[in-house]
Amino acid sequence: MESLINVYISENPLSIDQVYQGAVNETCGGICLFIGTVRNRNKGKEVTHLDFETYTPMALKEMKKIAEQAIEKFGVKHVSIFHRSGYVGIKDIAVIIAVTSVHRDACFQACQYAIDTLKETVPIWKKEFLEDGSYWVGARP
């Protein structure tokens, strides 16, 4: 019996193919993959890299809750959520979400729900490094 939920936090680069292979399902006609990458500018400043800190056991629990809610709300077959920790360079992958469903509408909606909710609830923190300093994103007014 294949797993319907797969959540993972890794210090090492994420593999799109690994996430895809874990999500593909013979009963489903669509997989929606969201890949979050690191961009080189934010708020007019040049970004050199990010550093992600994670409260790993709680983050995995919250990621699992999101996957369960996505399956419950949208009737999708499978949800994978993979997130990086540590140093992540420009263009590198910070997060991959894969949602598999019988028809495409459900997987698009569930994938959007998963990334939006992850950004609100999962205890992961992004430190953004600029040429002239660094700061915790969203921490200060």
Partner 1 sequence: MIHIKCFGIAKEIVDSELAKIEADKITVADLRKKMNADYKAFTQINGYMVAVNQEYATDDQIINSGDEVAIIPPVSGG
Confirm or reject binding of residue 112 to partner 1 (CB under 8 A): no
- Cα–Cα distance between 100 and 61 in angstroms, integer? 21
**Closest CB 54 distance from partner 1, rounded Å:** 8
- Cα–Cα distance between 47 and 109 in angstroms, integer? 31
**Cα 114 from chain centroid (whole Å):** 8
Nearer to partner 1, 28 or 82 (CB): 82
Nearer to partner 1, 44 or 57 (CB): 57
**Closest CB 75 distance from partner 1, rounded Å:** 24
CB-based contact 47:39 (threshold 8 Å): yes
CB-based contact 19:35 (threshold 8 Å): no
Near partner 1 in 44-103, by CB under 8 A: 52-55, 57-59, 61, 83, 94-95
- Cα–Cα distance between 100 and 107 in angstroms, integer? 6
Confirm or reject binding of residue 19 to partner 1 (CB under 8 A): no
Can you give the binding site for partner 1, defined by CB under 8 A? Answer: 36, 52-55, 57-59, 61, 83, 94-95, 115, 118-127, 136-141
